[in-house]
């Protein structure tokens, strides 16, 4: 109990000690995101409750490219198509420390993701062996065209840290790294960087 009271006292004292400047409570900005599988672009809003306590919410659209494979047999060909979309949103609490210009922050929160993927095999062959443009055998033909799609919704628990630079009183740059623990979606490391307007 004594330890809890001590920690609470320190946090309250730091929140009123001017650990960082708090000229502006709101911030809106754009950011880019990357993990080992994909890159994305998004937007973020933040609200500073105190000098060290901040709430942020963000939304990201991941850039997943379409891929295709052309397979030839004589004058005919088949094409395999793959396409996907992924949207993600996070709500995090930040504990921010530092001086007027440079800050370090810890983050924790929850995330929500929605993904959609389409796979298709078009103009497929019947009872034919398939070859690519270089004449390499890659498999048998199938009897009819096939198109399949599926979507997935996932939740995550987020934890990480970041740094930020208050370039001017109204503009701020940040870089952060977080671990998104999927429930039950994929657990990944995430890196983000962006610029925000503070007001």
Beta-carbon contacts of 116 under 8 Å, excluding residues fewer than 6 positions away, are: 84, 85, 86, 149, 150, 151
Q: Could you report the per-residue pLDDT of 9-67, keeping only the tens digit for each?
A: 454 444 444 445 556 799 999 999 998 778 899 999 999 999 899 999 999 998 765 55
Tell me if 35 sits within 8 A of 188, measured CB to CB.
Answer: yes
Q: What are phi and psi for residue 65, nearest 5 degrees?
A: -85, 150
Q: Which pair of structure tokens corresponds to residue 165? A: 């630079």
pTM: 0.68
Model confidence band, residue 87 (pLDDT cutoffs 50, 70, 90): confident
Our measurement of the distance from residue 84's CA atom to the centroid of its chain's CA atoms, rounded to an integer in Å, reads: 15
Cβ–Cβ under 8 Å, residues 196 and 29: yes
Is omega for the bond preceding 184 within 30 degrees of 0, making it cis?
yes
Q: Rounded to an integer, what distance in angstroms lies between the CA atom of residue 187 and that of residue 176?
A: 17
Q: Which of 112, 109, 103, 90 is nearest to 43 (CA)?
A: 90
Nearest to 86 by CA among 59, 119, 113: 113
Structure tokens at 97: 């420390």
Distance of CA 97 to the CA centre of its chain: 24
Question: If you average pLDDT over each of 87-91, 136-140, 143-147, which comes out highest?
Answer: 87-91
Cα–Cα distance, 140 to 45 (Å, whole number): 52
Enter the DSSP assignment of 20.
Answer: S
Distance CA 118, CA 80 (A): 11
- The span from the CA of 60 to the CA of 75, in Å, is 43
Alpha carbons 190 and 92: distance in angstroms, whole number: 14
* Interval 97-112: pLDDT, tens: 998 899 999 999 999 9
Mean pLDDT rounded to a whole number for the chain = 76
């Amino acid at each position: 109990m004594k330890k809890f009271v001590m920690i609470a006292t320190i946090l309250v004292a730091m929140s009123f000690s001017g650990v960082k400047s708090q000229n502006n409570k709101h911030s809106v900005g754009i950011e880019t995101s990357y993990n080992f599988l994909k890159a994305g672009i998004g937007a973020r809003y933040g609200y500073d409750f105190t000098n060290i306590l901040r709430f942020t919410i963000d939304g990201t659209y991941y850039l997943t490219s379409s891929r295709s494979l052309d397979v030839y047999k004589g004058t005919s060909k088949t094409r395999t198509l793959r396409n996907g979309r992924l949207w993600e949103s996070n709500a995090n609490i930040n504990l921010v420390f530092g001086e007027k210009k440079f800050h370090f922050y810890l983050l924790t929160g929850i995330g929500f993701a929605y993904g959609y993927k389409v796979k298709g095999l078009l103009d497929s062959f019947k009872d034919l062996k398939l070859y690519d443009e270089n004449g390499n055998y890659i498999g048998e033909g199938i009897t009819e065209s096939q198109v399949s799609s599926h979507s997935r919704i996932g939740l995550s628990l987020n934890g990480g840290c970041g740094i930020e630079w208050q370039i001017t009183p109204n503009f701020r740059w940040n870089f952060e790294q977080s671990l998104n623990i999927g429930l039950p979606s994929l657990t990944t490391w995430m890196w983000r960087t962006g610029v925000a307007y503070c007001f």
